[in-house]
Amino acid sequence: MATTTRTTDRGAAYFPRLAAERLDIALCRASAAVARAADAHAAREGLGVGQHLVLQMLDAVGPCSQQTLSEELRIDRSVMVGICDDLERAGHVRRERNVRDRRSYAVTITDSGRRRLAEAQASIPAFLEDTFHTLTPDERGQLSAILGKLLRTGAGGSP
């Protein structure tokens, strides 16, 4: 609460100026804040962000190899190991050796996983509203469009 009581130095409100002219920094700071909010939400929900994404994708497109999951979700494959470990231990997912190619598993969502996903899914709109409530629907649409373009054409696509 004692934020403005004692600003000893003269560096008052330097950050807004910086963020205004450095698009990269504004992007990273905003992302960090949103990521923290998402992690906190996931902790309350008891299902990690990565776990949620994996369940969501398995439910949407059917059984996948860990490789496909990590590529499509942009999660490193060494991280995907731990995510699938946790999900399997909780019974939300099964790993079955592919008979055609025994290097890969077919990761499959279970009924338990579907129920868990439905629970977690239900709270997503409230989380998004809570996080972006200061933006108008127009601004959210613009932001989504611009980020989508950036991801498609630029860095997020194929490095």
Partner DNA sequence: CGCCGACTGTTTGACAGCAGATGATTTGCA
Partner DNA sequence: TGCAAATCATCTGCTGTCAAACAGTCGGCG
Q: By the criterion CB under 7 A, which residues form the site for DNA?
A: 2, 5-6, 8, 32, 50, 65-67, 75-81, 84, 95, 100-105
Q: For residues 54 and 51, give the distance between their C-alpha atoms in angstroms, rounded to a whole number.
A: 5
Q: How far apart are the first and last CA of the chain?
A: 45
Phi and psi at 124, nearest 5°, equal -65, -50
Binds 3: which of a second copy, DNA, none (CB < 5-8 Å by kind) = a second copy
User: What mask of x and - would describe binding to a second copy in positions 27 to 46, judged by CB under 8 A?
Assistant: xxxxxxxxxxxx--------
Which DSSP string do the residues of 73-101 spell out, in sequence order? HT--HHHHHHHHHHHHHTTSEEEEE-SS-
Q: Which of residues 4-23 bind a second copy (CB under 8 A)?
A: 7-11, 13-16, 18-20, 22-23
Binds 89: which of DNA, a second copy, none (CB < 5-8 Å by kind) = none
How many residues at the interface with a second copy, by CB under 8 A?
75
* CB 109, min distance to DNA, A: 15
**Residue whose pair of structure tokens reads 């949407």 in the numeric block:** 60
